[in-house]
Amino acid sequence: MGYRERARPRGGVGWSAVVLGLAIPTGAMAQADPGRLRLSIGGTMTDLDRSAQSGAGGFGFGESNDYGAAGISAKLTMKIETRESISSGAVVTEGLLQLDRAGQDTVVVPVGGLIGCAT
């Protein structure tokens, strides 16, 4: 799966984002500020706003992050680890993305990825 370069979000001096690798043919990216999860569902890009977060994940993310929009809700749970070899970022070594859509089955997929931050 390939990722295109994305423009920096507006509205803040610093930002963090995690690009997630999923075990299904789709793409996902989560932003810390503003709290948002961007998913490709059926070839359509969908933005879900963060509605809650809990736990000390780091880099503006909680260990557990809830997102939602019209008829779609998602829960992103991540274990975030810093490493000396990565400056201004971290690795998502373990994670799950649960996606619930009205009238559809719930899908839960394992995720992993990198967090990159700019100030």
The whole-angstrom distance between residue 53's C-alpha and the CA centroid of its chain comes to 12
3-state secondary structure of 52: strand
Q: For the segment 7-60, what is each residue's pLDDT rounded down to a tens digit? A: 444 443 345 566 665 555 456 788 887 799 988 887 888 899 999 999 988 888
Spans of all domains in the chain: 15-113
Contacts of 66 (CB under 8 A, 6+ apart): 50, 51, 52, 53, 73, 74, 75
3-state secondary structure of 5: coil
Q: For the segment 56-112, what is each residue's pLDDT rounded down to a tens digit? A: 888 889 999 999 998 999 999 999 999 999 888 899 999 999 999 999 999 998 888
